[in-house]
Amino acid sequence: MAIQFRNGTREEPEINLIPFIDILLVVLIFLMLTTTYSKYTELQVNLPVADAEQPRQTPREIVVSVAQDGRYAVAGNLLEGAGVEMLVRALQQAAQGQSDLVVIISADAAATHQAVVNVMDAARRSGLNQITFATQQSRGQ
């Protein structure tokens, strides 16, 4: 009986990486789709508060107040409606033909963005291009 031994050449096993890469790409795509916007839903924003130095000079200004429920007051006069055209007429009356006035928007923190955008649009239509926002000092100081 003769024993036969294999020759010294051995086949190296192959590791096929293609299925592994496919699985990693699927996991990567899944993670990208599920975590893209999750941080934006957790934001809590409280507006408006600012710690800015008070201006030394008060320029000529028109103060437009925006209430929480969407009512407007231009230079202390409460407006009957909430339309942009009514705001345009009130701003033109308050400006009395002057175009270098500053429009100060004093909006309630709970007022809608649309109400503030309406004031900005009305100021642009009235020819008043200088707009700023009124804020209050933070309570911590």
| Domain contains 72 | yes
Q: Which domain holds residue 78?
A: 61-133
The reported pLDDT for the residue numbered 59 is 58
The reported pLDDT for the residue numbered 28 is 92
For the cut 90, the answer to whether the pLDDT of residue 27 exceeds it is yes
| Domain contains 112 | yes
| Domain contains 26 | no
Region of poorest pLDDT, from 60-74, 110-124, 127-141: 127-141
| Domain contains 127 | yes
The reported pLDDT for the residue numbered 109 is 83
| Domain contains 19 | no
- Judging by beta carbons within 10 Å of its beta carbon (0-12, 13-18, 19+), is residue 100 exposed, middle or buried? exposed
| Domain contains 123 | yes
| Domain contains 41 | no
Cα radius of gyration (the chain): 33
Kindly list the distances between the CA atom of residue 65 and the CA atoms of 14, 78, 139, in Å, as whole numbers in the listed order: 75, 9, 21
Number of domains in the chain: 1
| Domain contains 126 | yes
pLDDT band at 93 (very low <50, low <70, confident <90, very high): confident
CATH code at 121?
3.30.420.270
